[in-house]
């Protein structure tokens, strides 16, 4: 049982009751023989091997999210400047404030120990991590847009 992060996000925003219901079913599923067998398969690897694999996965994913954010924000700023739309410096300043606000929102809104379980696999924990990363990507896009607009008007 592995629902889509986007679907979970939609439930978080639109239907809290549905998210709670899915989360409760997921918790019940985690104690089924199938889930326990799946977990045991994952645990057959050593703790060190799992940790190293997880670090590599997270670093690679984060790298590509950062690159993607910078490319999207940079291209959006270049397109804005090239299109001749008015006052790119004002838009640059506004996008800086929006980017910083979103990054602060992500940082201050992330839950930690209050929802943490032993292995961090419950749906609320997963959606919390997903929202945190999504907000960071969106905030970074706005900051890259701001930089692109500022540099684009200086040339």
**pLDDT tens for each residue of the chain, 155 residues long:** 678 889 988 988 998 899 999 988 888 887 788 877 777 777 777 878 878 888 999 999 999 999 999 999 999 999 998 998 888 889 999 999 999 999 999 988 887 766 777 677 788 888 888 999 999 999 999 999 999 998 876 55
pTM of the model: 0.77
Please report where in the chains the tokens 């896009």 appear, as a residue. Answer: 141
Q: Which residues of 39-51 are buried (b: 16+ CB within 10 A; e: fewer)?
A: eeeeeeeeeeeee
Q: Do 69 and 117 fall into the same domain?
A: yes
DSSP state of 132: H
Domain, as residue range, for 142: 55-154
Any domain includes 49:
no
DSSP state of 38: H
Q: Do 71 and 134 fall into the same domain?
A: yes
Q: Do 27 and 71 fall into the same domain?
A: no
- Contact assessment for residue 128 and residue 74, using Cβ atoms and an 8 Å cutoff: no
């Amino acid at each position: 049982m592995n629902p889509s992060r986007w679907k979970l996000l939609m439930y978080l925003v639109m239907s809290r009751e549905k998210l709670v219901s899915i989360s409760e079913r997921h918790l019940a599923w985690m104690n089924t023989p199938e889930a326990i067998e799946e977990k045991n398969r994952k645990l057959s690897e050593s703790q060190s091997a799992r940790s190293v694999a997880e670090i590599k996965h997270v670093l690679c994913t984060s790298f590509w999210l950062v690159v993607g954010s910078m490319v999207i924000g940079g291209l959006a700023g270049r397109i804005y400047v090239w299109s001749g739309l008015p006052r790119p410096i004002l838009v640059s300043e506004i996008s800086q404030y929006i980017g910083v606000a979103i990054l602060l929102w992500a940082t201050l809104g992330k839950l930690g120990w209050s929802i943490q379980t032993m292995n961090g696999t419950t749906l609320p924990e997963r959606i919390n991590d997903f929202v945190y990363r999504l907000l960071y990507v969106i905030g970074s896009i706005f900051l890259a847009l701001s930089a692109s607009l500022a540099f684009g008007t200086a040339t």
